[in-house]
Amino acid sequence: MILVSSCLAGLEVRYNGTHSLDLRIRELIEEGQAVSVCPELLGGFSTPREPAEIVGGNGEDVLDGKARVMEQSGQDVTELYLRGAQLTLDKARQVKAKAVVLKEYSPSCGSAMIYNGQFAGQKEAGNGVTTALLRRNGITVLSEETLASYLQQNR
Ligand code: SF4
């Protein structure tokens, strides 16, 4: 089984109420090979919600207590992100996920690049909070950008 970001599956769960449908992901779900999860909804957020970015580091730093996740208005939402990451890890274990495919650039789900914490649309290398926790626990995390090579090797 593969665990995938709900927004990549076409669910309108992004902060602004939109989705990020990837047809390959939807196909995996329709074939019964994947189930979807949204770490931010698991953490306690609803849709729509304020945009948030990691300030002062990346997902690894958030796990280590060295950076925070902040909403644009200044609200510290780190605890909700940590809760969502833990519940996503629980879900990955529950379904025995052999890989997890998460949406790139998100402060939860990014796996190579995230926004840099200045709310100016600029990205930097780093992963989101959920990705960091999953990887620390030995789980392979891909994104829609790196899915093609995984599918070539595993289908
Ligand atoms: S990027 Fe992750 S946290 Fe954000 S809407 Fe998609 S699944 Fe949810």
52-109 confidence digits (pLDDT tens): 999 999 999 999 999 999 999 999 999 999 999 999 999 999 999 999 999 999 999 9
Would you kindly state where each structural domain of the chain is located, as residue ranges?
A: 2-153
Nearest protein CA to atom 8 of ligand 1, as residue: 38
DSSP assigned state of 105: B
Q: Which of the four pLDDT bands, split at 50, 70 and 90, describes residue 154?
A: confident
At 125, is the secondary structure helix, strand, or coil? strand
Over 80: is that where the pLDDT of 155 sits? no
Q: At what angle do helices 147-154 and 23-30 cross, to 10 degrees?
A: 40
**Among 41, 106, 111, 129, which is best to mutate for testing ligand 1, by the most ligand atoms less than 8 A from CB?**
106
Q: Where are the alpha helices (DSSP H) in the chain?
A: 23-30, 39-43, 59-63, 78-94, 129-136, 147-154
Task: Give the Å distance between the CA of 153 and the centre of ligand 1.
Answer: 26
pLDDT at 151: 87
* Mean pLDDT of all residues in 14-39: 98
* Pocket residues: Cβ below 6 A from ligand 1: 5-7, 13-14, 38-40, 102-103, 106, 108-109
Name residue, tokens 């390959």.
24
C-alpha to C-alpha distance for 95 and 114, rounded to whole angstroms: 27
